[in-house]
Amino acid sequence: MANNTCLFCRIVAGDLPAHVVYESPDVLAFLDIRPIRTGHVQIIPREHFEYYDTIPLEILTEIVSVGQQLAPILRNLFEVKRVAFLFTGGDIPHAHAHVVPMVEATDITSKQYIVEQDITFQNRPRVPDSELSVTASSLRLMLQE
């Protein structure tokens, strides 16, 4: 069931724009507009689930499959050795997976691994739509190969 206040539900409904790289009846993948790294993709179920463990297995399997397909594409496209795949939900309460080309080992680290206790975080800058369009187009084409 869609949630009118949920950012991701609004993207699924077409009320907010997204730079889509993959879509099916159950899953939508699009570029993060405030990426950890260029090429950072969000993969979401179209239906609103607050927690990843409540997503039906067949949809969860598709999300993981899309992440697996994207990983070698992102490694090659952005010339990185690793691509992270993780489920989160702390920022937006709509279960979602992140697929992130990892430039540095700390790109997706937990605060528990950081020595400095008074670390602060900044908002990532908004990437221009023109840049997101080019990246999304490239990823869509590579996923179809």
Catalytically active residues, by annotation: 96
| Amino acid identity, position 1 | M
The label of the residue with tokens 């993709």 reads 41
Tracing tokens 């908002």 back to the chain, one arrives at 123
User: What number of other Cβ atoms are within 10 A of residue 77's Cβ?
Assistant: 16
At how many degrees (to 10) do helices 57-78 and 129-144 cross? 110
Tokens for 119? 């670390």
Query: Which two structure tokens, joined as six digits, stand for 61?
Result: 């399997």
Q: Enter the tokens of residue 56.
A: 């039906």
Cβ–Cβ under 8 Å, residues 106 and 17 = no
